[in-house]
Amino acid sequence: MCGIVGMVATFENGFTFKHKDVFSNLLWLDTLRGDDSTGIFGVNKYGNVKYAKDIKNGPQSLETTECKDILSDIYLNGRCIVGHNRKATRGFITDENAHPFVEGDKILVHNGTLANHKELTENKVEVDSHAILHSIVERGYQKTFEEIQGAFALAWYDTKEKKLHLARNSERPLWIANTPGAWIFASEKEMLEFVLERNKIEVKDYTELTPGTVYSIEMGLGKSPDKLHGGYLFDEEWGDENWKEFDSFCVKALLYYLHNGLVNTGIGDKYHLNKLNASVGSGNLVSTLHRFLESNVGKETYSHYVDGMNDDEKDRCLRDFVEDHLNGETYTPQQITNGLHLVAKHFSYNINVGMKDRPQKRFGADRKGVNLYVITDSRNPFNKPSVDVVEPQFPVSDEVLELFSGLSK
């Protein structure tokens, strides 16, 4: 048994900060379906594909440099991302036998086990999933599905068609959730429900893919001008279809630039603010975090309230401030903390400059610790923070006091 998870962005600006958490949670949880190896592949807005795979389990793989780089790129520029957790049935447990597999212009992950994989291709491969991909490349998916004997759920991307394809037979599950901003899919509906509810993602509906039906999702990819028609912007042999494609590209590009305030102004403030709102999770949260930073410049602030704080200190607790000002909206502590740093960077505030990583302060008889945030305004560096500094206490003799008194005259 293996597991497949993934997302396809429907927002014009790609994935939001919440989507990054959703995919990481799904890949982590999907380890229950397979812990022999893990792999991911992503497609950015220009159709470029990146992938990584190894024999680590889901949580371990998420910590690798390769995985982090792909997630970072896809989060900023992505159109889709797919993950796979393998439980080995055919082939040894090696990096090469982990999913995804790449052949020609296609990249694929598979959940299931076949009885006749050696009959699907003349290429010698260890893993039945790899044989499926060879067959699709050589003969197409329709002929391949007719001859498969065994269980399958598949997700593969075609770089020529620029489409993600999903399919299954009756022996393996695959569910897809329709949410604002993304189609999100996984092998188990319960897994989707848990992760989406945990991340406060609204779900319009859940659909179990119909066995034998191929679901093809357009990426809605753009093209950089130097990639149009082999790199030639204009060509004497262009026909009507070429000009229609070029016209469509120009109209979409113009609308994008107008919508984001980029015409005659370079990269405009509206574009940066829209990007910030998408990264943090909502415009309301951005405004609230900005208000928190603005009202606490030069002060100690804290991650959350604990017993032992006075009323003034309680007013400077981040999570409590957000809850009080965003009644009805719920965010995880990680979303609030990450959002604070993103908003601070955008509006030129500094947090804990010159201090050790993640400083803490303790309160009450139980000495409960909370994270400490000292906020400064980089535009006003001389407004020093009012951080309590405990001077060292040690006895000083009268002779030393008299000496320093004399030096000060």
**pLDDT, tens digit, 9 for 90 and up, residues 269-288:** 666 777 788 888 888 899 99
- pLDDT < 50 positions in the chain: 223-234, 381-394, 408-409
Q: What is the pLDDT of residue 257?
A: 67
Whole-angstrom distance, CA of residue 176 vs CA of residue 185? 4
pTM: 0.57
- DSSP single-letter state for residue 409: -
- HSE of 36 in the Cβ direction (CA atoms, 13 Å)? 18
According to DSSP, residue 15 is labeled: -
Distance of alpha carbon 103 from alpha carbon 259, whole angstroms: 39
**What is the predicted pLDDT for the residue at 258?**
66
pLDDT at 164: 94
Q: What is the pLDDT of residue 89?
A: 85
Tell how far CA 242 is from the center of its chain.
35
154: left (phi over 0), alpha (psi -120 to 50) or beta: beta
Q: Which token pair is 308?
A: 């032992």
The rounded distance, in Å, linking the Cα atoms of 76 and 89 is 36
Among 35, 16, 152, 150, smallest CA distance to 86 is for 35
Burial category of 230 from C-beta neighbours within 10 Å (exposed 0-12, middle 13-18, buried 19 and up): exposed
Number of Cβ within 10 Å of residue 199's Cβ equals 19
Beta bridge partners of 158: 106, 163
The predicted pLDDT at position 227 comes to 47
In the CATH scheme, what is the homologous superfamily, with its name and number, of domain 3-218? Aminohydrolase, N-terminal nucleophile (Ntn) domain (3.60.20.10)
Q: How far is CA 380 from CA 193, 315, 349, 368, 385, in A?
A: 47, 23, 9, 33, 11
Residues of the chain with CATH 3.60.20.10: 3-218
Rounded CA-CA distance 218/235 in Å is 27
Q: What is the predicted pLDDT for the residue at 379? A: 62
